[in-house]
Amino acid sequence: MLKLSKKNILVLLFVFILSLLLSACTIAENIAKDEEYNIHVDYTAEQMLLITASRKKHINDFYTKDIWEVTTGDEFGTYKDVFLEEMQVFFIQLKVLNAMAVESGQTLNSKETGDVKDAALKFYEELKSSSVNFGNISYDDVEKMFIDYATALKFRNSIADDKSLEVSENDARVMHLQRIILDDEAKANSVYAEVNAEGADFAAIAKANSIDKNIVLNVGHEDLDPVSDEVVSILSNGQISEVISIDSKFYIYKCIEGYDKDATAAKKTKLLNERIDDKLKNSYNQYLMSKQVDIDDKAWNKMVKELSAIDIDNMGADFMNSFREVNIW
């Protein structure tokens, strides 16, 4: 099974939780159906604040503070409005993933719990030593969020162990090609002879003759039509294809590099993560079909109010950076 770096897994989990195929409207419908809730998002204002503030600081550092009043051009208002909505969804999804983890037996073992608690303690000490006032936040608040985040991560990793999700080298293969496209068969045959002449410069000939000036291609199997893919997949580096006729167009390819090892490895990671998250999204959606969820609006509103009063730039402690030190993978 392909292994991912700890940093990449943590970022992917955070991105996944913020981008599950569940709109806020869908969640709202789930919340409104019944007064009896199966899952109660009972995080305190302080618990939600420590993650939301860390995330806000990352965004400040990347985009500057000016980002918050930028309008999105749609019904969501400013970027601040969108951010807060996404963070509320984040906490709902974090709680649901923990419930799924418990039901599937993917909770933390004693060593994992110990490592998470050590990281939580370090974060808490950094937080308390900073000049930022986080109100009545306690070590127990910090530990709770570290445990829940680690549990959600472990649950995701359990899905990654599914052998059916593995990506083959061939599936992820990246090829570097040059291509000529013509709309006249006679000219295609003439150009084919020209590019096969001794010392011919394929790129220059392509530039002078191709009706599509996109000469250089970095592609996988899925980027090519089936006929072209079958032909170019067996070309050696430097080899030129025969003229390929498709729908009154004529294609000539030159293989520059038939297998880019580094690009293929990166694509393999990307495809694997897409498959994992697709399965996780499907499992999540299926799970919620039989559950009801609610969130403590009072705690949420308190958190939003406290967030606006915090001096983000002087936080010191950072949830994500501290969590990367947890050695459970």
Average pLDDT on 292-298 reads 88
C-alpha pair distances (Å), 236 with each of 122, 176, 212, 240, 258: 55, 11, 24, 9, 6
End position of a domain, from candidates 226, 258, 290: 258
- For the chain, the domain total comes to 2
- The DSSP bridge pattern shows strands 39-41 and 244-246 to be unpaired
Asked if 241 and 286 sit in the same domain, the reply is no
CATH number, position 194 = 3.10.50.40
| Tokens, residue 104 | 């599937």
The predicted structure's pLDDT at residue 204: 97
254 & 269 share domain: no
Note whether 140 and 287 are same-domain residues.
Answer: yes
- The beta-strand segments (E) located in the chain are 39-41, 175-182, 216-219, 244-246, 249-257, 293-295
Do 26 and 65 fall within a single domain? yes
- Assigned domain for 155 exists: yes
pLDDT of residue 76: 65
For the stretch 9-40, pLDDT in tens is 344 444 445 443 333 334 444 444 444 457 88
Does any domain span residue 301?
Answer: yes
Domain assignment present for residue 136? The answer is yes
- Structure token pair of residue 132: 């930022």
Q: Domain of residue 181: give its range.
A: 175-258
Q: Which residue has the higher pLDDT, 5 or 259?
A: 259
139 in a structural domain? yes
pTM of this prediction? 0.72
